[in-house]
A = this chain, B = another copy of it.
Amino acid sequence: MSELKSAAGELDAADELAALRERFVLDDVVYLDGNSLGALPAGVPARVADVVGRQWGELRIRSWEESGWWSAPERIGDRIAPLVGAAAGQIVVGDSTSVNVFKALVAAVRMAGEGRDEILVDATTFPTDGYIAESAARMTGCALRPVAPSEVPSALGDRTAAVLLNHVDYRTGRLHDLPALTAAVHAAGAYVVWDLCHSAGALPVGLDEHGVDLAVGCTYKYLNGGPGSPAYLYVRRDLQNRFDSPLPGWNSHAEPFGMRPAYAPASGAVRGRVGTPDILSMLALEAALDVWEGVPVEAVRAKSLALTDFFLRCVGEYVPDGRVELLTPAAHAERGSQVALRCDDAGDVMKRLIERGVVGDFRAPDVLRFGFTPLYVGFADVERAARVLAEAVV
């Protein structure tokens, strides 16, 4: 047995989270694409079958009350809250990340008030955030200015209304400094919206602790909510009364069943709701969140760093020099739970990896992405992935 294989065995044997893998439906594929679509939690199929067959099929309309459908967006928000360091009552689930970015950014600009007419957006963002920020700017009379996250502090000024940032870069896996950037935005009198898609469920976020204003995120990556499962919106408690939604659907009304012609916003996080919640997807997500029972995010972070460290070590030993280039920062403080490697023929290499049972993904034009979900990825998986990568690049 090679040195790395035996190292993997030792790491797996000492892994306190190893047993969590049994909470998922997995096979002998090394699944390193949980940063795109999390694996299926074992409890989800039975729960979904109950929602469809009994709650919808038998109780039908009564389920809006009796099965807790109506309150699902805020109830599930409260399940996500501890995973991102938020007290209850500040998160609602629903709509896509894109739609929530629009709500949050427009609301942030409105909070900033007159005289502040510029939105800063992460220039390296997953594109949808930039597209939506452009629309939010256009519709609120703001200018949009793309800047690299590291340049945000120097770009802030009296005109800055809002700043949209990614906690972890989708492409490189770089972790940005949420506490420092949030403090810088606040020092300039502006509001910050954090996109947590690539960090929630993989590392501690500390929304409350760091005084974040607004945040959004998807639930189908490290939260394992299923394909296209609804996103969420965090509005810090003391800002909720000033949250002025551009999508004031009836679910956000103070009296949704009053059928009032005039809009009056609800109190609290509920103000972030829009239309009728998507129950099947939402309750699948609720069941998926059961896998977090008794799992501290800090332990997840520790294992995540150990996994990515070990992957970098294995890649360093197995893959011929110069064949791939590391895009993810080596420093722990700057690394999310993904490793991105630049590779000229990344598309072809990823095809060969997948054929050989190692599933990551390819991002145009030349990036191999490998996501490490600490709940179900082990160190032997990591060693195998690097070994197969070495074969695939030859």
Interface positions of A (Cβ within 8 A of B): 25, 27, 31, 33, 36-37, 39-40, 44-45, 48-49, 52-53, 55-58, 60-64, 69, 95-99, 102, 106, 123, 126-128, 130-132, 134-135, 139-140, 146, 171, 218, 220, 226-231, 245-251, 253, 257-261, 263, 274-282, 284, 354, 359, 361, 363-364
Contacts and interface: CB of A to CB of B under 8 A. Distances in A.
Contacts of A37: 56, 60-61, 64
Given A95-B95, A139-B246, A274-B98, A45 B53 contact: yes
Given A33-B61, A56-B40, A56-B226, A96 B280 contact: no
A171 B259 contact: yes
A248 B134 contact: yes
Contacts of A40: 52-53, 56-57, 60
B131 A253 contact: yes
A128 B278 contact: no
Contacts of A25: 53, 57-58
A180 to B, nearest CB: 25
A57 B42 CA distance: 9
Contacts of A284: 52, 280
This chain's copy number in the assembly: 2
A280 B63 contact: no
Contact of A48 (B48, B69, B140, B279): B48
Nearest to A58: B27
Given A127-B261, A228-B277, A275-B128, A99 B99 contact: yes
Interface centre among A139, A249, A259, A354 (most CB of B within 10 A): A249
Given A226-B280, A274-B96, A277-B228, A44 B52 contact: yes
Nearest to A230: B278
Given A275-B231, A278-B229, A128 B249 contact: yes
A253 B57 contact: no
A60 B33 CA distance: 9
Given A45-B57, A231-B275, A259-B363, A99 B247 contact: yes
Contacts of A361: 61
A249 B132 contact: yes
Nearest to A48: B52
A338 to B, nearest CB: 14
6 contacts: A33-B61, A48-B280, A131-B250, A135-B247, A231-B275, A279-B281
Contacts of A278: 96, 228-230, 278, 281
Given A249-B131, A284-B280, A364-B258, A56 B139 contact: no
Contacts of A281: 278-281
Given A226-B280, A279-B228, A257 B364 contact: yes
Contacts of A228: 69, 276-280, 282
Contacts of A258: 364
A61 B359 contact: yes
Contacts of A98: 247, 249-251, 274-275
B134 A279 contact: no
Interface centre among A61, A258, A274 (most CB of B within 10 A): A61
A110 to B, nearest CB: 10
Contacts of A127: 250, 253, 259-261, 263
Contacts of A39: 57, 60
Nearest to A102: B247
